[in-house]
Amino acid sequence: MSRDIVMAVIAVAVVALLGLLLRRSAVSSATGGPPSMPPPPEPDLDEEEAEDEGGEAVAVTSDGWSFMPLEDRDRVRLIPPLTPGPEMDPAMPRPTPEQLARGDLLAARVKRGAPDHDPWRLEALGRDREYRAWRFETEEAARAALALVSRSIVAAPRDEEGAEGAVGDADFAEARRQEEEIEAQLATMPEGEEPPDAPLRRE
């Protein structure tokens, strides 16, 4: 190909490009701004927020906390009520969601409670064998929560050799006795103080 032909091809390409730019400029002037660009993609939801959006509560406690399964089956989300119940101080901030992971509970069971306080109770032992309990109005709701935590959260304790240890009624009774002792100490202490070595807990 001769040099003259190459120059002619380049000149045609330059003219075509200028024409395209002029047409875009004309469209921009007619619409009062630059050509519209496609909207940016929506930001991805945080993994846990997305799971919460698509999740469905398995059971709801007497005070409105929802047991929510997560997709990886090794976690359970506890969602506080949207509005405070009558037993809560409206001036206090709304509780934050809580998350349980596999191994956070060593054992769990459903027990009959007091009809006027906790008709049905989901009892559990935490990692440090501390007593935990959630109140339910019906046995069906309590057992649905038990099935969820048993499948996803409960991991029986193991000894130094890796053998699984059993958790029985005596373990629950001892944990509850210690919990009642802590509550008694709290009732006699000035507001805002904690007894020594008091485990963190929420019922």
For 107-139, write each residue's pLDDT tens digit: 999 999 988 888 999 999 999 999 999 999 999
User: Exposed (0-12), middle (13-18) or buried (19+): which is 187, by Cβ within 10 Å?
Assistant: exposed
One-letter amino acid of 93: P
The answer to whether the predicted template modeling score (pTM) of the entire model surpasses 0.85 is no
Residue 172's pLDDT is what? 95
- Partners of 111 in beta bridges: 121
Residue 55's pLDDT is what? 62
Nearest-angstrom CA–CA distance, 65 and 87: 13
One-letter amino acid of 19: G
Nearest-angstrom CA–CA distance, 98 and 51: 14
Check: CB of residue 68 under 8 Å from CB of residue 78. yes
Which region among 41-50, 65-74, 133-142, 172-181 has the lowest average model confidence (pLDDT)?
41-50
Write the class of the CATH domain 56-188.
mainly beta
Residue 106's pLDDT is what? 96
Nearest-angstrom CA–CA distance, 194 and 165: 32
Among 153, 134, 152, 155, residue whose Cα is nearest residue 59: 134
Q: What is the mean pLDDT of residues 28-42?
A: 47
Torsion of CA 78, 82, 83, 84, to 10 degrees: 20
- Partners of 134 in beta bridges: 122
Which region among 129-133, 158-162, 189-193 has the lowest average model confidence (pLDDT)?
189-193
Name the pLDDT band for 54 (thresholds 50, 70, 90): very low
Residue 64's pLDDT is what? 94
Sign of the CA dihedral 107, 110, 114, 117? positive
The position carrying tokens 């507001």 is 191
Question: Does residue 15 or residue 152 have the better pLDDT?
Answer: 152
Residues sharing a CB contact under 8 Å with residue 105, sequence separation 6 or more, in sequence order? 124, 125, 126, 127, 132, 149, 153, 154, 155
What mean pLDDT value characterizes the chain?
Answer: 76
- Percentage of the chain beyond pLDDT 70 is 63
For 70-94, write each residue's pLDDT tens digit: 988 899 999 999 876 666 666 777 7
